[in-house]
Chains A and B, each alone.
Chain A
Amino acid sequence: MNGRDVVLSRLRAAVSADGPAGRVPRDYRRERPVDLDRLVERLTDYRARVHRVPEAAVADTVAGLLPPGATVVVPPGLPPAWLPPTVAALPDDGLDVARIAAADGVVTAAAVGVADTGTVVLDGSPDQGRRILTLLPDLHICVLRAAQVVAGVPEALARLTPRRPLTWISGPSATSDIELDRVEGVHGPRVLHVILLP
């Protein structure tokens, strides 16, 4: 018997007396209306900084968040109009780890926003890029459209594609490991800005 056969035959023996499985009650809340103010409140509560501006003002907003000459990692599909001329863009054409790690920030779009939990979800689409891009720079600017925001976790999962690599981000990197107090800033980006478009 190989390991697979051993494990499976043990488990089969363990459930051999089981009857048919019971029904799963799913009377929890789903498909609720979206409240953008709640998203803003909950993002802010976990120390993300939120900027509500029209799309035409994205570049100016980004310019205000980074010093002139700052290097910014850019996923391949990011709308060029979102970047101000004041920053040095590093388009990801296979950037190596050292260059990503040395950048001052990264600008991406998002796939979904979750109002209840103050979460943005990235799914690796061209305007969000590889997972590493939003991991190593210390500052992440994420542009989210109102139409991408859903009320809760069930609605978010319904919009996402499991086969894509997904990163759910709720505020900057944090830890509760020291006396169970939330402290921002461990290994991921220590600063998270969300630019929320109408």
Chain B
Amino acid sequence: MTRTFLGMPATAPPGVGHLRGDEPFPAAARRALADPQLRRNLGHATGTIRGKSAAVIDEVPDWPQLRAAGAAIKADVMARLPDLLVQLEAAVTAAGGVVHWAPDAVEANRIVTGLVAATGADRVIKVKSMVTQEIGLNEALSAAGITPVETDLAELIVQLGEDRPSHILVPAIHRNRAEIREIFLRAMPGVDPGLTDEPAALAAAARRYLRQTFLSTPVAVSGANFAVAETGTLAVVESEGNGRMCLTLPRTLITVMGVEKVIPTWRDLEVFLQLLPRASTGERMNPYTSMWTGVTPGDGPQEFHLVLLDNGRSAVLADPVGRPALHCIRCSACLNVCPVYERTGGHAYGSVYPGPIGAVLSPQLTGVADNASLPYASTLCGACYDACPVMIDIPSILVHLRAEAPHPRAESTAMAAAAYTMDHPTLYAAAQRAARLSRLAGQRGRGLPPPLSGWTASRDLPDPPAQTFREWWAAR
């Protein structure tokens, strides 16, 4: 980068973090499709969550109004992003926090590593944060001699299993209980050799293992779900209590947040705190939500740092069609309804952001050339758009990105046809039903759903769902 362009919107730099896969999507997907255990685990988990989510959304008669409000607030945030961040900075500073600005992953890692080193700590506890995975913070901390300890149960499973996350909300969704037990028995120091694969027993093992670490580690690193510009309040939504541990016990708290997470007012939380849990874990409310504003004397961390990260977001913001990808509240509903994700799992997408949202966000953050196959990792069926609590029109962004991506001719023709069909709802619904019937016939296309079946024609797949998402949605 030359100095001339320093102030212009920029994509995330290569060589750091986890936004780029090692191989194109079709190659990675083919491997995933050959793993029947993975497909069973994914099918079971995504089916469970879809059912739970539908039931609690059904309880909320004003769900459409909440979605519309959420979408409008996010659009407003993007239009005023620089001013809102300056307002947030002032509010956090007034409440005793310190705000840092990181243009990219390298800078963010340098800032966080420096802050931890200044405390003298050689270990940090972490609460699940997509953004610290995006920037490769754990690798940077380890390189500086600082041990990062993941405290979220799923992250712990991934870390102990020397594995990679495969879902936004449930990073170990590709593992079933028997596999988790094996990982704990193999890699968790001091684990009871008589451990069973009962979920309650597995959770209790994690509780015992992490307790002393929580009580003795002086620095925590977190992400943030929301940051309120007018008040300087940060919010973290979680289930297990590991978030509360990280946000309460250490002397120093460092929160790393993508710039797009800011919301204008305290009142705006009333929309997102209703949308997020129901769309995400399918709960009316997640067990714990923590909110804090700067430092509270005598309660919780007495030193608070907020790191605001760009790392390609300015480039996404600069593209009017692609920009709504920044509206994402990371609920993962689009993953759970996606017929492609359900078959391939998250690893195939390469980036830490998998599924439909990953297919539109990762290529924009890195520049499309660095993730050229991801805009094609979709059937454009539209289930993600229907499920998204902030109404991100993912199919339209995919079509837009395909126009920018270098791609094989056959794919682009198939995609153009699909895009045309998408714009004509009756045709589209008919095509979707026809595609499912052809798969039910069982002879061909048992890999990925059409038009991606060419990538995977000979693979064995579980039976397609009895209903499409649209039919299911219409029938509920």
Contact = CB atoms under 8 A, between A and B. Distances in A.
Contacts of A98: 215
Interface string B272-302: 0110010001011111111111001011100
Nearest to B249: A132
Interface in B136-154: 151-154
Interface residues of B, number: 103
B200 interface: yes
Interface string A70-105: 000000000000000000000000000110010000
A117 interface: yes
Interface string B169-201: 010110011001000000000000000000110
Interface in B65-82: 65-66, 68-69, 72-73, 75-76, 78-82
Nearest to B241: A188
A165 to B, nearest CB: 5
Nearest to A130: B299
A179 B44 contact: yes
Interface residue SS majority, chain A: loop
Given A1-B7, A10-B310, A124 B296 contact: yes
A179 B240 contact: no
B239 A10 contact: no
A9 B7 contact: yes
A83 B207 CA distance: 29
A50 B300 CA distance: 29
A175 B299 contact: no
A39 to B, nearest CB: 11
A13 to B, nearest CB: 6
A146 interface: no
A14 B318 contact: yes
Interface string A184-198: 111111000000000
B358 to A, nearest CB: 19
A67 B73 CA distance: 50
A36 interface: no
A173 B49 contact: no
Contacts of A189: 241
B82 A12 contact: yes
Interface of A: 1-15, 17-30, 42, 46, 97-98, 101, 114, 116-119, 124, 130-132, 135, 152-154, 157-158, 162-189
Interface of B: 3, 6-10, 41, 44-45, 48-49, 52, 61-62, 65-66, 68-69, 72-73, 75-76, 78-82, 85-86, 95, 100-103, 107, 111, 151-154, 157, 170, 172-173, 176-177, 180, 199-200, 202-204, 206-207, 210-211, 214-215, 228, 231-233, 239-242, 244-245, 247-249, 259, 266-267, 269-271, 273-274, 277, 281, 283-293, 296, 298-300, 308, 310, 314-315, 317-318, 320
